[in-house]
Structure 1
Amino acid sequence: MNITQLNFCKPEPADGPALHALIKRCPPLDTNSVYCNLLQCSDFAQTSIAVKSADGGLLGFVSGYVPPGRLKTLFIWQVAVAPECRGQQLAKRMLHALVRRVSADKGIAYLETTITPGNQASEALFERFFNDLSAPVETSVLFSKEQHFNGQHEDEVLYRAGPFIVQQSDTMQNSTTQTH
């Protein structure tokens, strides 16, 4: 699928069911309830981004939030890209658009995410993204397989990048439309 005409926007509550369907199509992402996805599209809309096709179909989504007590940090919870849109740097473009917006709105200077060991796609995405930001990165186990998941889930490794300064105009959005 050629994804040249896209709408990068804040999600709306009505996007919750489409987000649920998108995440189901994006293993190994953990699926949550539709209710959780509704909250991502409403309560976390200011720190998340949706990408829609010209006909309004949801093609990508990045959910994030500002953790209490770390007001200069944006935590990226999930990055989902429709399978037919992969290989076109949509995930990185969404991250750039979201960080640009949230940095301008909230003064974000740090970005955090967790990745399970061996998730090569996420590791490569965030390595490229952190390089784009010229941000130093620290890693540590945030939630361990044994201590937090009773051996039922791999470790969640925290990646913390920053401080960084976001350029408010860059070339990552070429051939796309962006709305706020």
Structure 2
Amino acid sequence: MEQSSVLTLQKPTVEDGAAMWELAETSTLDSNSVYKYIMMCEYFDETCIVAREGNEVVGFITAFIPPKQPDTLFVWQVGVAESQRGKGLALDLLERLIERDVCRDVRYVEATVTPSNKASQSLFKKLARSQGTACNISDCFGEELFPGDNHEEEKTFRIGPIKG
């Protein structure tokens, strides 16, 4: 019987940026530049998290606390490797992230999600249930804001209050 490596959840380093980008590129996530991931690891490492199996990045969250909403953690992307899907890793990453000291004043978690992204919708609803709070969904960015015909509208998922 094969023994799997233990997963470690921790702050990312700039060296993780390329692996995070590769994980995003092999998934259904919106495409961003490698630079975006490196920058998030450098300037927002306190509000981002990676999961490693051995030396391999198998999951990540990029997030930040918006300057105009210091009580909110905005989740930009959640990426999980195919090998880890269905194991609860995304929820574990979110819960570990909101436990960090930098999030001590955070009362809400927000993300924008397209109507077709059922996995993310399910994740944020699970987070609300695990925190014993509400998940409110509202309109955010209409599809008319995006160039071309390839982007759906984005709905805001607002979970909270948490840590009440």
> Do these two structures clear the TM 0.5 threshold for a shared fold by scoring above it?
yes
Please list, as runs of the form range in 1=range in 2, the aligned pairs for 1:17-166 lying within 5 A after superposition: 17-27=18-28, 29-54=29-54, 56-102=55-101, 105-146=103-144, 148-150=145-147, 151-165=149-163
Deviation at 1:126, TM superposition (A): 1.1
- Report if aligned partners of 1:2, 1:85 keep a CA contact under 8 Å in 2: no
Q: After the TM superposition, which parts of structure 1 deviate over 4 Å for at least 4 consecutive aligned residues? A: 1-4
User: What per-residue deviation string (whole Å, max 9, x for no partner) do you get for residues 10-33 of structure 1?
Assistant: 000111111111111111x01211
TM-score with structure 1 length normalisation? 0.84
- Distance apart, 1:139 and its partner CA: 1.5
- CA separation of 1:105 and 1:120: change in aligned 2, threshold 3 A: closer
Amino acid at match of 1:5: V
Corresponding pairs, count: 162
List alignment gaps of at least 5 residues for structure 1: 167-180
TM-score if structure 2 supplies the norm length? 0.92
Q: Deviations over 1:38-96 (max 9, x none)?
A: 01111111101001112x11000011000111001000010000011111111111111
Of structures 1 and 2, the one with the larger relative CO (CA 8 A, separation 6+) is 1
Q: Give the gaps of 5 or more residues in structure 2.
A: none
Instruction: Give the aligned CA root-mean-square deviation in angstroms.
Output: 1.8
**CA separation in 1, counterparts of 2:99 and 2:5?**
20
Q: Distance in 2 between matches of 1:2 and 1:68?
A: 44
